[in-house]
Amino acid sequence: MAIFYVALGGAIGATLRYLTTLLVVFPFGTLAVNVVGSFLIGLAFVHLTTRGFDRAMLFGVTGVLGGFTTFSAFSLDTLKLVEKGQWGLAGAYVVGTVTLSLAAVFAGVFLARGTSL
């Protein structure tokens, strides 16, 4: 049954990621997905693990957010920019994605826990 929860959540997350990339100009759709997904995974991690919601973790974190946030798409987007000779944009995209995603997961965890840096 665990695989069903992950698969269902993954289908939903992947669909949401695809729709986001249709709405946001390339390559920033994936950036937006990774930042928002990182924030949400921080919130979900705290709320679900402290309450013992194992099925919700499988569905929401592994499935939905795992399907929604994908650094494989990030890597491919970076490759496409490099292949187009847009090295500056590719570098800014890599640094921005990693920095903002890390900041977002910290913010999500701190917000969920009610703490600050």
Residue 91 to residue 98: CA distance in whole angstroms? 11
In this predicted structure, what is the pLDDT of residue 20?
Answer: 93
Residue 104 near residue 35, CB atoms below 8 Å = yes
Give the pTM.
0.77
Tell me how far apart the terminal alpha carbons of the chain are, to the nearest angstrom.
Answer: 39
DSSP H stretches of helix in 24-114: 28-49, 54-56, 66-68, 71-83, 87-113
Q: 26-84: per-residue pLDDT in tens?
A: 889 989 999 999 999 999 989 988 888 888 889 999 999 999 987 777 888 999 999 99
How buried is residue 87: exposed, middle or buried, by Cβ count under 10 Å (0-12/13-18/19+)?
exposed
